[in-house]
Homo-oligomer: A and B are copies of this chain.
């Protein structure tokens, strides 16, 4: 029997709200930010913390723009300190010394996933505040994922570990 379309199936339900937050350094591209918002909303997140201009393109973010609370902050370090106080593990997504392969990384349920600018990545000031840095393996050119692509992969991995 052939497969038949079921576009926009009802979503899964979560046993309890996600305790995953996405935290974005100032991004160059609101397209990337908007893509992250749509993916995060699909994953059931309800809050994203941004810095910089942070204007959403609603054609890209779609209903994610309404489903998720977008908090815009002037600067990240105090936000990260606050999250740490609230019990979040601060996890950067980057290639650094001592970064851990995401394939073997066990996410804590209460995690803040921090991404940096497309060009400059996470600044030393932010790296200093993180508990862990995870990296996604790369096998080919251009040797780095687009920031929204990397975030999609990390969101996927978190949700795989914490499906409900």
Q: What is the total number of residues of chain A having a CB less than 8 Å from a CB of chain B?
A: 67
Across-interface contacts of A144 in B (CB, < 8 A): 7-8, 42
> Which A72-111 residues have a C-beta within 8 angstroms of B?
92, 94-99, 103
Q: How many copies of the chain does the oligomer comprise?
A: 2
A139 touches B9 (CB 8 A): no
A3 touches B146 (CB 8 A): no
**Shortest CB distance A28–B (Å):** 12
What 1/0 flags go to A6-26 for Cβ under 8 Å of B? 111111111000100000000
B3 touches A98 (CB 8 A): yes
A128 touches B13 (CB 8 A): no
A-B contact pairs, 10 of them (CB 8 A): A3-B98, A7-B95, A11-B137, A38-B146, A41-B142, A60-B146, A62-B141, A63-B141, A152-B152, A157-B160
Chain A residues with a Cβ under 8 A of chain B: 1-14, 18, 35, 38-39, 41-46, 60, 62-64, 66-68, 92, 94-99, 103, 121-122, 124, 127-128, 130, 133, 135-146, 148-149, 152-153, 156-157, 159-160, 163
